[in-house]
Amino acid sequence: MTAEDLAAWIGRTERVEDDISPAQAAAAAAMLEPPPPLPAKDSALPPLWHWFYFLPRAPQSQLGIDGHPQRGGFIPPIPYPRRMFAGARIRFHQPLIIGQPAWREGIIRNVTQKSGRSGPLAFVTVGYTIYQNDSLCIEEEQDIVYREPGAPIPAPVPVDLPPPPPGAWVRTVTPDTRLLFRFSALTFNAHRIHYDRPYAKHEEGYPGLVVHGPLTAVLLMELVRHNVNRPIIGFSFRSQAPLFDLAPFRLIAVPADDRVELTAQGPDGMTSLSAVAELGKAEY
């Protein structure tokens, strides 16, 4: 497709409704370690857990070979087969309440094509606003990147990681197929790179199963939630390199006044994902 064809998708909208089921929140809590308190009906949904709602429900016949819904509806029909959730910027105006209906409005804000080191790339920026009881709860802007198939990615070589910064909160995560399966199930994500090892290795050139970028972001957010007693009013992240189920990775959170600097560090010492959580006034 030409740039003009893709640009025609800018401004396209969708609306998705959800009842913010307590069962889905309870399933999310069961996936996490250490387990957070079991969310109850009419309580606040933790930040980032809105990713477990407003899920795509494409019919089985409309899934592509990679497991993603075929493009051409809300998402433009980008011709490149590889897809990555590259980053997001989120504002939390007020928490969603579990067990109460809500709706999400989406809009395609931009579609651009560029040439990178690995070949042609396409970037889609999607804006979302989530409402409940006629009030704006969450604003989010997502960056989705599409690319051509590239050279196989070698497995990371583990190294002795340097000491974390003074005062940092640290957690080591050992990803396995059970964790990746549960996150895929919670987000109704059939992308085969997260559960189909032969496909991930032989079709997309990865050395193992790929850890979802949003899963890493949720784990970083949980590290913040376990260590602060202040509302989280903003969150942004950028994916830099994939993580795999081949070795543990490290989460690092460095508090600094009204923000927490976050890093997910691969076994080779490289930054996989960087993020920032913004904190509101302390709750008493």
pLDDT digits (tens, 9 = 90+) for 139-180: 999 999 998 888 899 999 999 999 999 999 999 999 999 999
Q: Measure the CA dihedral 13/51/213/76, to 10°.
A: -20
Strands, E, within the chain: which ranges? 13-18, 82-92, 102-116, 119-132, 135-147, 169-173, 232-239, 249-256, 259-265, 271-279
Say what the pTM is: 0.95
Locate tokens 């042609």: which residue? Answer: 120
Q: Looking only at Cα atoms, what is the longest distance across the chain?
A: 55
For 1-150, the fitting CATH number among 3.40.640.10, 3.10.129.10, 3.40.50.1100, 3.30.70.20 is 3.10.129.10
How many beta carbons lie within 10 A of that of residue 257, not counting itself? 6
Using only C-alpha atoms, the chain has a radius of gyration, in whole angstroms, of: 19
Task: Name the CATH superfamily housing domain 151-284.
Answer: Hotdog Thioesterase (3.10.129.10)
184 membership: H or E segment, kind and range = helix 177-186
Q: What is the pLDDT of residues 104-127, one digit of tens each?
A: 999 999 999 888 676 788 999 999
Q: What is the pLDDT of residues 175-232, one digit of tens each?
A: 999 999 999 999 999 999 999 999 999 999 999 999 999 999 999 999 999 999 999 9
φ, ψ (nearest 5 deg) of residue 110: -160, 150
Q: Measure the CA dihedral 74/148/144/276, to 10°.
A: 170
Assess whether pLDDT exceeds 80 at residue 282: no
- Residue intervals of the chain classified under CATH 3.10.129.10 are 1-150, 151-284
For the chain, give the number of residues: 284
User: Tokens representing 228?
Assistant: 């602060």
